[in-house]
Amino acid sequence: MMKRKELKGNALIGQSGGPTSVINASLAGVIEASIKSKKIKKIYGMRFAIEGFMKGNVVDLGKQKPSIIKGLHTTPSSGLGSCRYKVQDSDFPLILKMLKKFDIRYFFLIGGNDTMDTVHRVEEYCAKNGYELNGVGIPKTVDNDLYGTDHTPGYGSAARYVALSVLQSGMLARDMQKVDQFVVHQTVGREAGWLAAASALAKTDENSAPHIILTPENPFIKKKFLAEAKRIQKKCGFVYVVVGEGVLDEKGKPVSSSKVKDKFANVEFGAMGGASVAMEIHAILSKEFDWRGEFQITESMPMCGADRASKTDVKEAAACGRKAVQLATSGNSGVMVSMVRKKGKKYAIEYKTAPLKDVAVRAKEMPAKMFTKNGMNVTKAFINYAKPIVGELPEYVTLDMKK
């Protein structure tokens, strides 16, 4: 963490990358704390993140009606608009020019790894060029793979979306097993299986969905997978498989067969890549067993499902926004707000910091202790980790089939 001067000037906030159900709660936290701060004159918002800022596309957030700021806490998507622009070295002179034009002394971005890299590079460039600026990153990602924090705002709500979807569609699969013998449900998660693993919260007994969970942390071994699928279908009458989009085979290649890459050199999974791991797994099961089945690909829906948002997630997202302002106005720079879980049975979070230089280049995989030995399901350690973040799920009834 770099300690700098306690500055006086304007603040700038942007939202980058994919949205979450609670990213606007973090935005609201920043706005509310900035308005109250004696060191911040105005709080500006970037329209369409850094890409829009370079064109001078900003809005004075301090002029928003209080009812709108309050409403942001429960409004989905990215209120300011987002982008996935990869900042080039040649962009920094223009960025610095715009920062000076708006007298920006506090720089905030809400986002994931690539966003944290942008904050890090901007604040470092300013320091090297003698411009006083405190830059603080605010964590966000449904993938939950951001290094340096127990979990990220957005994950709890997306995990709840997945758990509810599997809970409900799992009951459908159970009752339609004479028509469809299997279901493959795909979640986002390029490098880590946190979101796919969240489906385990839907399980109510040993026969209920999900039965198999495939994640990027464990290689997909076709022979073992087919043996497990056959065993479960024979026992339960159907098999429900949840797959993370970034699942790899034994050679480290995407099972989705996607070869398309984005501007950040990341493989495009799902529809954007023209391929899908769910479709591949569906084809494997159909061909091997001649079963009829379906696949479900949610893509971006868990990123904006405000009706399924976790109450804990909403509160923590706003708290991260407020903490970012407190850190920056106290002279901190080059850090991301970090959530640290307190020890003990009762769930509680402390808000600390993680160095941007570490967050920007590392991804957080699920630890081995959270997976079963065969790598196709999760343990109690994961359930204990995720349950307080996601919240309680509804309980449904099952008919008594005794004659």
Nearest residue to 22 via CA among 148, 159, 137: 159
Contacts of 33 (CB under 8 A, 6+ apart): 321, 322, 324, 325, 326
143 is catalytic: yes
Q: How far is CA 61 from CA 10, 69, 80, 324, in A?
A: 11, 9, 10, 17
Torsion angle, CA of 275/279/281/283, rounded to 10 degrees? Answer: -120
Distance CA(161)–CA(140), nearest Å, equals 16
Quick check: 140 and 154 in contact, CB under 8 A? yes
Distance CA(185)–CA(223), nearest Å, equals 20
Catalytic, out of 114, 117, 143, 313: 143
CA 191 to chain centre: 12
Quick check: 35 and 361 in contact, CB under 8 A? no
Catalytic annotation, residues: 143
